Amino acid sequence: MAESGVVVIKRLDETVVNRIAAGEVIQRPANAVKEMIENCLDAGSTTITVSLKSGGLKMLQISDNGHGIRREDMEIVCERFTTSKLKEFDDLKTIATFGFRGEALASISHVAHLSITSRTKDSKCGYKASYLDGRIKGSPRPTAGNTGTQITVEDLFYNVPTRRKAFKSPSEEHQKIADVMTRYALHNSGKSFTLRKTDGDSGPSGGVSVRTQLGSSFVTNIGTLFGSKVAKEVIEVKHYDTQLQLKTFGYISNANCSMKKFVFLLFINNRLVDCSVLKKSLDSVYQSYLPKGSHPFVYLSLEMPTNNLDVNVHPTKHEVHFLHEDEVVTSVQKQVEASLLSCDSSRTFYMQK
Ligand code: ADP
Ligand code: MG
């Protein structure tokens, strides 16, 4: 307030504005990893490796074997609203479902030291560049390397001390990243995902905390990621609801398997989301099959027309809503119950023989 008591409104400096906005998009290392994994997948990668130092706070590196970024695009790739995924205006309707476009790399460059090395298959060499506040520093420099992209994020929130101080535990951040990786690794079974810790005591695993192999099946990966006990007791769910144009696919545990906590992995149109209404309704289905206090493992991938999905306006808001929510939830619930029943009867049948 000015001395006279008059309120003075000042325009914030542009750099500060950008930094605040970026901090909203990227709230912690795991957000950055999720956005970057999706970029790798969009680029057609089949092998994705993430390396971390201090839970990604000190260093977070993600390498893929996707189609790479062209040299000329390296110049603008970190500017806000630059994207290679919005070719026609028509796309906007589809893209709107994902709420935002072309903001992930830009945001990261406002709150961390970012560098990109990339090579397209038609290029004789790769190129490397560093970025600050949405802009490239200098020009891309030629470098050796395979087709694909490697993005390195260092000193996340170095310029936002309050945010930086809020991270008490690198191992908690590591765990959150491992959780995101585990979910994407299962959903993208057949592609290879690796999460590696490159500092401190890496232990007997060599610092690898998540790993799936090229060509692995869903069930194999459930075993690798969630344990062989669960993998032995899962059943496949596969259904198409013509009326709702809803495709349901997944693996769910049967009545022999009980988890201490409800493990629920939900992808809608290939994006990792939360849906508490669906979660609650599935937990209640299992209550009549499982002993008290035990919970199921449920991995579901739903596909529905994008115009039925509520605009997920913000990348950190994972909770989704959709049109005909009651009908969708009921349809999925029915499928899960039917699968549970059918596996029950086949078991009885098998035992009677
Ligand atoms: P969006 O994914 O919404 O387009 P991003 O900021 O996440 O926005 O990425 C900007 C652009 O950078 C992408 O459109 C893509 O062209 C390029 N890009 C980012 N990561 C990769 C990657 N791993 N491989 C190839 N291109 C990438
Ligand atoms: Mg992206």
Contacts of 292 (CB under 8 A, 6+ apart): none
Beta bridge partners of 164: none
Name the pairing type of β-strands 47-53 and 59-64. antiparallel
Q: How many A from CA of 268 to the centre of ligand 1?
A: 21
Dist CA 43 CA 147 (whole Å): 11
Backbone φ, ψ for residue 42 (5° rounding)? -60, -30
pLDDT of res. 92: 53
Whether 85 lines ligand 1, by a CB cut-off of 6 Å, is yes
Neighbours of 165 (CB within 10 A): 9
Taking CA atoms only, the protein residue closest to ligand 1 atom 4 is: 83
Q: What's the rounded Cα separation, in Å, for the pair 36 and 151?
A: 9
The pLDDT of residue 224: 97
Tell me which residue has its CA closest to atom 8 in ligand 1. 102
CA 35 – ligand 2 centroid, Å: 5
Residue 77 CA: which ligand 1 atom is closest? 12
Which residues of the chain are modeled with pLDDT < 50?
Answer: 95-99, 311, 313, 348-353
pLDDT at 55: 96
From atom 5 of ligand 1, which residue's Cα is the shortest distance away? 102
Tokens 């470098």 sit on residue: 143
Nearest CA to ligand 1 atom 13: 83
CA distance 100 to 269: 15
Closest C-alpha residue for ligand 1 atom 21: 39
Instruction: Name the nearest CA neighbour of 44 among 120, 126, 152.
Output: 120
Strand 113-119 relative to strand 126-132: parallel, antiparallel, unpaired?
antiparallel
ipTM: 0.98
CA of 257 to the centre of ligand 2 (A): 37
User: What is the predicted pLDDT for the residue at 324?
Assistant: 79
pLDDT value at residue 86: 61
Specify the residue with its C-alpha closest to ligand 1, atom 7. 104
How confident is the model at residue 10, as a pLDDT? 78
Give pTM, 2 decimals: 0.90
Closest ligand (CA of 98):
1
User: What integer pLDDT is reported at residue 172 of this predicted model?
Assistant: 95
| Ligand 1 contact via 294 beta carbon (within 6 Å) | no
CA atoms within 13 Å, Cβ hemisphere of 27: 6
Measured distance CA(289)–CA(280) in Å, rounded = 15
Q: How far is 244 from 213, CA to CA, in rounded Å?
A: 35
Q: Is 37 in the pocket of ligand 1 (CB under 6 A)?
A: no
Please say whether the dihedral angle defined by the alpha carbons of residues 144, 145, 149 and 152, taken in this order, is positive or negative. Answer: negative
**Best substitution site from 77, 78, 121, 271 to test ligand 1's pocket, by max atoms within 8 Å of Cβ?**
77
CA of 42 to the centre of ligand 1 (A): 8
Residues near 175 by Cβ (< 8 Å), separated by ≥ 6? 55
Compute, in angstroms, the gap from residue 270 CA to the centroid of ligand 2. 13
The whole-angstrom separation of Cα 265 and Cα 226 is: 12
Ligand 1 site, residue 35, Cβ cutoff 6 A: yes
Cα 148 off chain centre by? 19
Q: What are phi and psi of 290, to 5 degrees?
A: -110, 155
262-272 residue pLDDT tens: 999 999 888 88
Q: How far is the CA of 39 from the centre of ligand 1 (A)?
A: 5
Best of 62, 76, 83 to mutate for ligand 1, by most ligand atoms within 8 A of CB? 83
How far apart are the CA of 102 and the centre of ligand 2, in A?
Answer: 6
Pocket residue to mutate for ligand 1, from 84, 107, 122, 184, most atoms within 8 A of Cβ:
84
Angle at 22 between CA 208 and CA 48, to 5 degrees: 25
* Ligand 1 neighbour 104 (Cβ under 6 A): yes
> Which residues fall within 8 angstroms of residue 84, CB to CB, at 6 or more apart?
73
Residue carrying structure tokens 């035990």: 294
Query: What string of H, E and C letters represents the secondary structure of the chain?
Result: CCCCCCCCCCCCCHHHHHHHHHHHHCCCHHHHHHHHHHHHHHCCCCEEEEEEEHHHCCEEEEEECCCCCCHHHHCCCCCCCCCCCCCCCCHHHHHHCCCCCCCHHHHHHHHCEEEEEEECCCCCCEEEEEEECCEEEEEEEEECCCCEEEEEEECCCCCCHHHHHHCCCHHHHHHHHHHHHHHHHHHCECEEEEEEECCCCCCCCCCEEEECCCCCCHHHHHHHHHCHHHHHCEEEEEEEECCCCEEEEEEEECCCCCECCCEEEEEECCEECECHHHHHHHHHHHHCCCCCCCECEEEEEEECCHHHECCCCCCCCCECCECCHHHHHHHHHHHHHHHHHHHHHHHHHHHHC
* Domains, the chain, with CATH or none: 14-211 (3.30.565.10), 227-352 (3.30.230.10)
